[in-house]
Structures are given as structure tokens and as C-alpha cells.
Amino acid sequence: MNATTERPEAVLFDVDGTLLDSVPLFIEMSAELIRELGAPPVPEAHIRALMSEATPDLLLKILPEDFPDAKQRVEALMAANMARFMERYHQESRLLPDAVETVQELAAGGFVLGLATSSGRALPFLDRCGLRDHFAAIVGREDVARHKPHPEPLLLCAERITRDPGRCMYVGDSLVDIRAARAAGMTAVAIPTGTSPRERLAEEGPDLLLGRLSELPSLLAT
């Protein structure tokens, strides 16, 4: 965080790759769909890079350009597998280290907390770990027409917690999280626990680049 940045009133979080260790599962499921389509295998690093950019129609971008009937086949496969994949997402994803302690410390420190995620609002992990009541607002993909890197999810979250975006901090693991925070006028905090390596996050120029989530409460206490 630069020296001129005011202490925020609110801390907003991304979910996947920031609080929840779900990125490996997304990569595994993408690779599984690629196999089912009969397409050539794709390096994990390439899938991660596309996820960090929040590329629309991720599977279509992964497939070769000349893949036959790509759009129709991907849509049919996604429709057939969505319920199964969502069940795995909710059951198998686990919290990242320090997530519970960090959220609890920030809440105890008087910060208003919120979630702005590209996933849906149904997040059973919040109930399993007892964190839901710490978040004053949760904005999911069903709440907005435009998704990150557009600032709409972040701005809606700030509106719901009645805080000026300029007094909010947004914590995320991807390039689009940084871009969305910047577009919303929020302090952009990045953490290399999801889709993007530390070096790539640094190139994007966040206000603060953490090594791990647990660094945040002590930094905000100073």
C-alpha cells in the first residue's frame, strides 16, 4: 500500500483463489471436459493464465481454433455436467491457510467486510467455517450484469455496505481482481494464492502485494 493510501473502512474479498482453494479443482474440471470433448491436452499454466484474465467462454479459448462444432459441443457438455461440477465445487473446495483467522481479525478490528465474487452467492463453505456472519454483503454473479474486470460487482458491494468505494480495499488473486479494484476506485490488494504468480501480479501494479493473507491485519493495524 502506498504511503498516501488512507486506512480503509471496509475490506472486500474475492472468493476463488483468495479465500477458497478452488482453483486446482477448476483446472481439473476443465481438463476433464477437454478430455471428454476429445481435444488435445492443454498445459495447466495455460488454463491458469486464461482464468486469471477471466476469459469469457474459457473452454472455447482452450480448444484449438479449428475444433469442429466447438460452441455447440461445449454448451451441451457444460449443461450436462454443471450440476455435478457445482456439487464437487461446494463439497471439495477448502479454505486457504489463514483465511478464517484473517477474516476474524479484520472483523474484530472494526472493518466492514464484504464478498464480491464471480461465483454464485450460494457459498456453503461460509456456513461450514462459521464466517458468513462476518460479511455485511455478498455479491455473486447472479447480482450483476457485468463481471470483473468491470467494477460493477465491487461497486454494488460497496453500495450494499454503505461505504464510499474510495474507502474500500479489494483483495484478490487474479489480474482481473486488480483491474476491477482500480476501475472501482478501491485500493487493490493482490495475493499469489490462486491463478497468477507473484511476478505477474506485480507487473499489473496493485497497491499492495501480499505474500500470504495473514499479513493483512497487521499491515492495516499500523
pLDDT (average), residues 152-165:
98
Q: How confident is the model at residue 54 (pLDDT cuts 50, 70, 90)?
A: low
In this structure, are strands 94-95 and 20-21 parallel, antiparallel, or unpaired?
antiparallel
Q: How confident is the model at residue 52 (pLDDT cuts 50, 70, 90)?
A: confident
Find all residues with CB under 8 Å of 153, minimum gap 6, and list them: 116, 117, 118, 139, 141, 143, 144, 147, 180
Domain ranges within the chain, ordered by starting residue = 10-21+94-221, 23-92
> Is 208 a residue whose pLDDT tops 70?
yes
- 14 assigned to active site: yes
Residue (of 4, 5, 3) closest to 186 by Cα position: 5
Residue 147 φ/ψ region, left for φ over 0, alpha for ψ in the -120 to 50 degree band, beta for the rest: beta
- Amino acid, res. 62: I
- CATH class of the 10-21+94-221 domain in this structure: alpha beta
Kindly report the pTM of this predicted structure. 0.90
Q: How confident is the model at residue 4 (pLDDT cuts 50, 70, 90)?
A: very low
What is the DSSP annotation of 80-99?
Answer: HHHHHHHHHHHHH-EEPTTH
pLDDT (average), residues 185-194:
97
pLDDT (average), residues 141-152:
95
Residue range 13-37, pLDDT digits in tens:
999 999 999 999 989 988 999 999 9
pLDDT (average), residues 61-84:
89
Alpha carbon distance 175, 112 (integer Å): 24
Q: Quick one: cell of 174?
A: 487474479
> Is 216 a residue whose pLDDT tops 50?
yes
Catalytic residue among 14, 21, 98, 207: 14
Cβ neighbourhood burial of 143 (10 Å; 0-12, 13-18, 19+): middle
Highest mean pLDDT among 34-48, 67-81, 86-100, 142-156: 142-156
- Can you give the pLDDT at residue 2? 43
pLDDT (average), residues 196-216:
96
**Chain-centroid distance, C-alpha 120:** 11
What is the DSSP annotation of 123-169?
Answer: -HHHHHTT-GGGEEEEE-GGG-SS-TTSSHHHHHHHHHTT--GGGEE
